[in-house]
DNA sequence: CTGTTAGCGCTTTCAT
DNA sequence: ATGAAAGCGCTAACAG
């Protein structure tokens, strides 16, 4: 069943059926109504592939993430998908698994399926691959990565803002020995959090002890190891800020098993506000990075990029900042 | 850039290029080699939409789930996607949000995009919508739902097995007052767990007290409420089995806030083994439903269904059972 | 406002 | 083993 059958049954040409579907305002209301009836009656769905083939637009958007089982991403994916459904678009999701080879595969799939645009929400991206997209002039929205050529835009998470709030919060609670468990430092996003921590403390006149600076991997295990180191210190910290919630959860386990209590013995702050952060015991004070903000901003920007055939040029900002804020729960307390 | 350019540059017809890509064995090795060189050199990707249009096969599979932010699903999606990538397929994901209207939308999208098959991994499905798929003879794999017509197959999670193991485990630990917090009872999958609990206890000669049977909603909140009821009882249970992990986590919070301890005062067992289950304090004893098993089984079955144009007939089972097993962690203890 | 018609890029007979 | 050509279902010029 196809557009010709509909046309025949409605006694119009296929062009009129096509117009009724795509540009109803250009069709006589009565004709349109008749066509619509037939479409309904025949339960006709236009073939998107034929449509894409001739028009060059697929109404598909690509969404590339690191790993859907990383709790940072499901909410992002969901909000992005909600936007897509609302705007009559399909999305194709690619998991890179933090592997550049898989990332290349993802991009290839996106190109093959002729996506109208791609949102790359992973924290590191090979500029070569971005060049590939730019060469085909596929609109791209990036996260924490320099935009690659025209029709490309970057979203930056305001890590500093959140870390500053976290530091100030602990300072206000009279903490002075504050440790930091960083993420993997090859990531720009991890370094941004670490340096925000250091600079804020210094600007408040506190020198950061080397021992109090640990490095994790943004996973539970890294938090576990780092916290073990911290507890071995002669003078342990009274508070710890972790570069993300998973790290904080790892730290929490260690503290608990050492017979210490949060927040009574040690205050703990996370980062991201994944959904489990409010379910830990005690609920975790953390910096929220709104995944729905991120998704909506990314989608909206991408949609705008897709609509403009030309470069976005100077008229638009090439970068947008995503706010972050401290959410106080029960893992921090005054000393 | 298209297949004609490749053909011209390799001095062959477009048919030969097409064959080189799809049926290399039918092409002279030397010709094929020449064509392949040109393809590489031009960095040519075949247009999947043109391909689908003419062949009728899209190499896309649909995956419908309830809600990607429900921790049951990310691992399922990931494994399913892994399979798809391995087999050179694309997947389109649909979130129903537990809403029949959205489910209808998902199915419509799948049909529009001409998926080769659909895996519907939600727990409840409108038979009418399944009929729509059957009518278009789209292969379908269902979860805990009766198969709908030909080219359709059902996967059943062996809830009883897991619940039986959980009950036996608690019985072996000398628990006799065991409570059960059920899921929403309009779901067949929730009822299956509840009745497995009751029947196992009865077959062990223990009558189930009405008071000990609570109903939740498979979310945190339901677990919270149900556990509050349980703690109000004159004689509270020594152990609780929850219909899923989210429910158990809700219960855990309440127990903790009541000043009681798990497992010292109350043993607690969950169901699903979501990734957070091993991160609770204490780590949760729970019944594992392997999402990767589920995904791989679903994918494999779907692939088989897609390859057979005809009905699967009697040769194949119309239903497969997914095993479940107790994972003992530290939320249960002998009394 | 509506119809005619030429492709979009590919696969697939049917010849050779 | 290869090529010529038809056509998948649709959109978009163009003509009327």
Task: Report pLDDT digits (tens) over B46-77.
Answer: 999 999 999 989 999 999 999 999 999 999 99
The continuous run of DSSP H or E covering B94 comes out as strand B90-95
Q: B45 contacts in A (CB within 8 Å)? A: 108, 111-112
Over residues A83-93, the mean pLDDT reads 94
Of the candidate ranges A196-200, A305-309, B23-27, the one whose mean pLDDT is the lowest? A305-309
**Count of alpha carbons within 13 angstroms of residue B164, beta-carbon side:** 11
Of the candidate ranges A86-95, A315-324, B119-128, the one whose mean pLDDT is the lowest? A315-324
pLDDT of residue A314: 45
Q: Confidence class of residue A319 from pLDDT cuts 50, 70 and 90? A: confident
pLDDT of residue B190: 95
Q: A85 contacts in B (CB within 8 Å)? A: 102, 105
pLDDT digits (tens, 9 = 90+) for B76-115: 999 999 999 999 999 999 999 999 999 999 999 999 899 9
- Residue listed under structure tokens 């947008």: A320
**DSSP three-state, residue B324:** strand
pLDDT of residue B72: 95
Pairing of β A178-182 and β A213-215: parallel
Burial class (CB in 10 A: 0-12, 13-18, 19+), B98: middle
Q: What CA–CA distance (Å, rounded) separates B50 from A50? A: 7
Q: Establish whether the CB of B55 is closer than 7 Å to any nucleic acid atom in strand C.
A: yes
Answer yes or no: are the C-beta atoms of A7 and A31 closer than 8 Å.
no
pLDDT of residue B314: 44
pLDDT of residue A149: 74
* Among candidates A49, A249, A253 on the partner chain, residue whose Cβ is nearest the Cβ of B53: A49
Answer yes or no: are the C-beta atoms of A139 and A169 closer than 8 Å.
no
Most distant CA atoms of chain B, gap in Å:
88
pTM for this entry: 0.93
Using the structure, give the distance in angstroms from the CA atom of A54 to the C1' atom of C6, rounded to a whole number. 11
Residues 6+ apart with CB under 8 A from B4: B14
Over residues B225-251, the mean pLDDT reads 96
**DSSP three-state, residue B257:** helix
Q: What CA–CA distance (Å, rounded) separates B36 from B38? A: 5
Residue with the larger pLDDT of the pair A136 and A211: A211
Using the structure, give the distance in angstroms from the CA atom of B16 to the C1' atom of C16, rounded to a whole number. 15
pLDDT digits (tens, 9 = 90+) for B126-162: 888 888 888 888 999 999 887 767 788 999 999 999 9
Q: What CA–CA distance (Å, rounded) separates B100 from B107? A: 11
The CA-atom distances, in angstroms, between A87 and each of A22, A81, B103, B150 are: 14, 10, 17, 34
* Among candidates A85, A220, A249 on the partner chain, residue whose Cβ is nearest the Cβ of B105: A85
The CA-atom distances, in angstroms, between A303 and each of A65, A89, A121, A272 are: 18, 10, 16, 26
pLDDT of residue A301: 93
pLDDT of residue B76: 97
* Among candidates B73, B92, B114 on the partner chain, residue whose Cβ is nearest the Cβ of A49: B114
Alpha-carbon radius of gyration of chain B:
25
**Nearest-CA distance from A50 to chain B in Å?**
6
Q: Confidence class of residue B252 from pLDDT cuts 50, 70 and 90? A: very high
Q: A69 contacts in B (CB within 8 Å)? A: 74-75, 78, 275
Q: Confidence class of residue A324 from pLDDT cuts 50, 70 and 90? A: very high
Phi-psi domain of B95 (left: phi exceeds 0; alpha: psi -120 through 50; beta: other): beta
Closest CA to B272 of B327, B231, B234: B327
Give me the helix-helix angle, A73-86 and A291-307, nearest 10°. Answer: 40
CA triplet B229, B235, B237: central angle to 5 degrees?
70
The tokens describing A125, both together, are 């991206």
The CA-atom distances, in angstroms, between A14 and each of A22, A42, A180, B56 are: 12, 15, 66, 21
Q: What CA–CA distance (Å, rounded) separates A146 from A134? A: 13
Residues 6+ apart with CB under 8 A from A60: A89, A90, A91, A92, A113, A114, A115, A116
Average pLDDT of chain B to the nearest whole number: 92
Q: What CA–CA distance (Å, rounded) separates B198 from A89? A: 47
Strand partners, B270: B286
Asked if B249 lies within 8 A of A58 by C-beta distance, the reply is no
Those nucleotides of strand C lying less than 7 Å from any protein Cβ are: 1-5, 7-13
pLDDT of residue A312: 53
Q: What CA–CA distance (Å, rounded) separates B287 from B241? A: 10
User: How much of chain A exceeds pLDDT 90, in percent?
Assistant: 81
Average pLDDT of chain A to the nearest whole number: 92
Q: Confidence class of residue A315 from pLDDT cuts 50, 70 and 90? A: very low
Answer yes or no: are the C-beta atoms of A117 and A304 closer than 8 Å.
no
């Amino acid at each position: 069943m196809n557009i010709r059958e509909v046309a025949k049954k409605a006694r119009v040409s296929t062009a009129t059926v096509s117009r009724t579907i795509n540009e109803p305002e250009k069709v006589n209301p009565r004709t349109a109504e008749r066509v619509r009836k037939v479409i309904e009656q025949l339960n006709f769905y236009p073939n998107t592939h034929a449509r894409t083939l001739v028009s060059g637009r697929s109404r598909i958007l690509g969404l590339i993430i690191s790993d859907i089982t990383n709790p940072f991403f499901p909410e992002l994916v969901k909000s992005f998908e909600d936007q897509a459904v609302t705007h009559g678009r399909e999305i194709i999701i690619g998991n890179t698994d933090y592997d550049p080879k898989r990332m290349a595969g993802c991009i290839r799939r996106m190109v093959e399926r002729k996506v109208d645009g791609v949102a790359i929400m992973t924290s590191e991206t090979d500029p070569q691959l971005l060049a590939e997209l730019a060469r085909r002039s596929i609109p791209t929205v990036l996260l924490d990565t320099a935009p690659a050529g025209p029709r490309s835009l970057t979203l930056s998470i305001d890590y500093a803002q959140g870390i500053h709030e976290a530091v100030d919060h602990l300072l206000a609670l009279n903490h002075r020995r504050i440790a930091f468990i960083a993420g993997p430092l090859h990531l720009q996003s991890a370094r941004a959090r670490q340096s925000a921590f250091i600079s804020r403390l210094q600007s408040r006149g506190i020198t950061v002890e080397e021992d109090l600076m640990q490095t994790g991997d943004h996973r539970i295990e890294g938090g576990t190891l780092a916290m073990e180191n911290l507890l071995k210190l002669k003078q342990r910290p009274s508070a710890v800020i972790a570069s993300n919630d998973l790290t904080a959860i790892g730290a929490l386990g260690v503290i608990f098993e050492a017979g210490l209590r949060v927040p009574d013995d040690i205050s703990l702050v996370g980062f991201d506000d994944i959904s489990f952060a409010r379910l830990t015991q005690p609920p975790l004070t953390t910096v929220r990075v709104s995944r729905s903000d991120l998704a909506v901003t990314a989608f909206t920007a991408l949609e705008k990029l897709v609509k403009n055939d030309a470069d976005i040029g100077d008229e638009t900002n090439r970068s947008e900042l995503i706010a972050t804020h401290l959410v106080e729960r029960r893992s921090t307390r005054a000393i």
